[in-house]
Amino acid sequence: MFRRSLLALLLLAPVAVSAQERPITVSSTTSTEQSGLFGHILPIFTRETGIPVRVVALGTGQALDVGRRGDADVVFVHDRAAEERFVAEGFGTERRHVMFNDFVIIGPAADPAGIAGGRDAPAALRRIADSRAAFVSRGDRSGTHAAELRLWQAAGADPVAGRGQWYREVGQGMGPALNTAAAQNAYILADRGTWLSFRNRQELRVLVEGDERLFNQYGVIPVNPQRHPHVNAAGARRFADWIVSPAGQAAIAAYRINGDQLFFPNADRPEPAPGS
Amino acid sequence: MPGLSEAFGLALGLVLAGDAALTRIVALSLRVSLTAVLVAAALGLPLGALLAVARFPGRQTVIVALNALMGLPPVVAGLLIYLLLSRSGPLGSWGLLFTPTAMVVAQAVLITPIVAALARQVLESMWEDYAEQLRSLGSSALRAVPTLLWDGRIALLTVLLAGFGRASAEVGAVMIVGGNIEGFTRVMTTAIALETSKGDLPLALALGMVLMAIVLTVNAAAQLLREWAARRLG
């Protein structure tokens, strides 16, 4: 009896979706996966098209590398400069903008650098640097890391001087970085989606938000079949077409955590220029 | 630790509810790790036995290498297999990256040295007792390998359990080569890592408890098997 049930357990196929269509692999970022957005929109896509989606969630830099090596059919990330380079190098067919969310500066409730309530993100970072208050950086070439470095540049401050002291690069995803900041009562730049779904907040609060320079644009790029002939180009194109279509955009807008909308679809509008 | 009782309650709730996603993750974990143990047994046990009985130049070097490979960091193994199986790598045309098969390969690479090295240790001491006897019967060392493996099967079961323990506890390699894809390559350890990332520490701990319970069950089953075999032989 026991043996039979064990056997049944072992024979269970790991694939849940038994659609006829060939699955696509999406190389994306931890923010889209860990915020729960994919859990909400992908079942809708699969229901409409019959295409199962497999998501590999990494930092934007790594996610683009996976596409570059041909290990994914489509990339869905947030670092416009790196995305345009990806297309220019011939690894992607075309980049379309999909949605944006925003970054927030998180910090301890005690706020030793005194930045709470501000709307000027670079000014807040300058105060953190001046007070040498602990700041956790992703340090992993992710889109969030790239955005953080752009903000430091705008602030005219060089955090690298504080490396190993108050500036702490953890080289990990958004969640682990937030766990580190919570444990050390440190400041951190985070995307709002991951923050809203993050559970281990301890003393951390949102201190600075609403600066236009904190906008975070996402783009979708099918991997170029001329570069990697084995990719599921048809499936990738359908995914990219769907996510910028009214149906895909509505699915994105409908995703909320405790009533808060996390991602704002903007495929039909010019995107806000980053860092301007 | 205030989270501990919450985690325990969560773990119990997940198991009692027969949560479908959890069942799938548990089934995949067992399937991947047990397959890896089978592969490691098929490669590692004969290799270990061979090293126990045969004397050839370079034998010490092989033994030292095997012992060192027991400490191979999973992330390094994962990275090497990732580069091999990637579409841009030498075995890319097989299309195995981000599949359960790639995870089996990664775990097998990690535990085959463990199985081989521990099997050699066990069988070598047996061989010292046997050698005279078998040689007096005119049997060569190589032909003694199947006999040794059969007679040592109870001790070798423990060796395989050590391999299974390492395989099922491993996270670094399967994360890299499997990609932690929901419903496809997500196993217990990568699910635990994901929940930790999301800051849902009680759920992560609850999943950890479920994993421990499974490993405990497998070991208890092996112990029963051992006792049953000992009674039959005894």
Question: Is A191 a residue whose pLDDT tops 80?
Answer: yes
Q: Which amino acid is residue A272, in one-letter code?
A: P
Residues 6+ apart with CB under 8 A from A171: A138, A139, A140
Output DSSP code: residue A23: P
Residues B108-136: tens digit of each pLDDT: 999 999 999 999 999 998 888 877 777 77
Q: What is the mean pLDDT of the segment spanning A66-92?
A: 96
- Nearest chain A residue to B33 by CA: give it: A10
- What chain A holds in terms of domains, given with CATH numbers, is 11-100+217-265 (3.40.190.10), 102-214 (3.40.190.10)
Q: B28 and A25 in contact by Cβ < 8 A?
A: no
Whole-number Å distance between alpha carbons of A151 and A126: 10
Mean pLDDT check: name the lowest of A48-52, B5-9, B110-114, B120-124.
Answer: B5-9
Task: Assign A241 a pLDDT band (cuts: 50, 70, 90).
Answer: very high
Q: pTM to 2 decimals?
A: 0.86
Task: Assign B234 a pLDDT band (cuts: 50, 70, 90).
Answer: low
Task: Assign B11 a pLDDT band (cuts: 50, 70, 90).
Answer: confident
Question: Is A10 a residue whose pLDDT tops 90?
Answer: no
- pLDDT > 70 fraction of chain B, expressed in percent and rounded: 98
Q: A56 and B194 in contact by Cβ < 8 A?
A: no
Residues B90-109: tens digit of each pLDDT: 999 999 999 999 999 999 99
The DSSP code sequence of A64-129 is: HHHHHTT--SEEEE--HHHHHHHHHTTSBS--EEEEEEEEEEEEETT-TT--TT---HHHHHHHHH
For residue B187, give how far its alpha carbon lies from the nearest alpha carbon of chain A (Å): 10
The DSSP code sequence of chain B is: -THHHHHHHHHHHHHHHT-HHHHHHHHHHHHHHHHHHHHHHHHHHHHHHHHHH---TTHHHHHHHHHHHTT--HHHHHHHHHHHHSTTSTTGGG--TTSHHHHHHHHHHHHHHHHHHHHHHHHHHHHHHHHHHHHHTT--TGGGHHHHHHHTHHHHHHHHHHHHHHHHH--HHHHHHHTT-TTTT--HHHHHHHHHHTT-HHHHHHHHHHHHHHHHHHHHHHHHHHHHHHHHH-
Residue B218 CA: distances (Å) to CA of A8, A215, B225: 16, 50, 11
Determine the pLDDT at residue A16.
43
Determine the pLDDT at residue B143.
80
- Nearest chain A residue to B197 by CA: give it: A175
Task: Assign A15 a pLDDT band (cuts: 50, 70, 90).
Answer: very low
Mean pLDDT (chain A) is 90
Buried b (16+ CB within 10 A) or exposed e, A188-206: bbbbbbbbbbbebeeebee
Task: Assign B2 a pLDDT band (cuts: 50, 70, 90).
Answer: low
Q: What is the mean pLDDT of the segment spanning A85-110?
A: 96
Q: What is the mean pLDDT of the segment spanning B50-67?
A: 92
If you search the block for the tokens 């993050």, which residue do you land on?
A198
Q: What is the mean pLDDT of the segment spanning B80-92?
A: 96
SS3 label, residue A199: coil
List the single residue in B88, B184, B197 with the smallest CB-CB distance to A54: B184
Q: Does domain B4-233 have CATH number 3.40.50.150?
A: no
Residues B135-162: tens digit of each pLDDT: 777 667 778 888 889 989 989 999 999 9
Mutate to test the interface with B, among A69, A142, A191, A257 (most CBs of B within 10 A): A69
User: Which residues of B touch chain A, with CB atoms under 8 Å apart?
Assistant: 23-24, 26-28, 30-31, 34, 86-89, 92-93, 95, 97-98, 100, 179-185, 194, 196-201
Q: What is the mean pLDDT of the segment spanning A179-194?
A: 95
List the single residue in B92, B184, B197 with the smallest CB-CB distance to A14: B184
For chain B, which residues make up each domain, given as ranges? Answer: 4-233
Top pLDDT among B8 and B3 is at B8
Q: Is A201 on the interface with B (CB under 8 A)?
A: yes
Mean pLDDT (chain B) is 91
Question: Is B25 a residue whose pLDDT tops 90?
Answer: yes
Determine the pLDDT at residue B226.
84
Of the candidates A210, A274, A233, the one whose C-alpha atom is nearest the C-alpha of residue A24 is A233
Top pLDDT among A214 and B6 is at A214
Whole-number Å distance between alpha carbons of B84 and B106: 11
What is the length of chain A?
276
Determine the pLDDT at residue A74.
98
Contact A122, A213 (CB under 8 A): yes
Q: B31 and A54 in contact by Cβ < 8 A?
A: no
**How many pairs of residues across A and B have Cβ atoms under 8 Å apart?**
87
Question: Is B77 a residue whose pLDDT tops 70?
Answer: yes
Q: Kindly state the tokens that stand for A240.
A: 């990219």
Residues B169-209: tens digit of each pLDDT: 999 999 999 999 999 999 999 999 999 988 888 889 999 99
Q: What's the complex ipTM?
A: 0.82
Q: B199 and A30 in contact by Cβ < 8 A?
A: no
Task: Assign A11 a pLDDT band (cuts: 50, 70, 90).
Answer: very low
Question: Is B62 a residue whose pLDDT tops 80?
Answer: yes
Whole-number Å distance between alpha carbons of A2 and A171: 45
Residue B80 CA: distances (Å) to CA of A244, B86, B99, B173, B174: 37, 10, 16, 9, 12
Whole-number Å distance between alpha carbons of B229 and B234: 8
Determine the pLDDT at residue A271.
60
- pLDDT > 90 fraction of chain B, expressed in percent and rounded: 65
- What does the longest C-alpha to C-alpha distance in chain A come to? 70
Q: Is A106 on the interface with B (CB under 8 A)?
A: no
Determine the pLDDT at residue A67.
97
Question: Is A88 a residue whose pLDDT tops 90?
Answer: yes
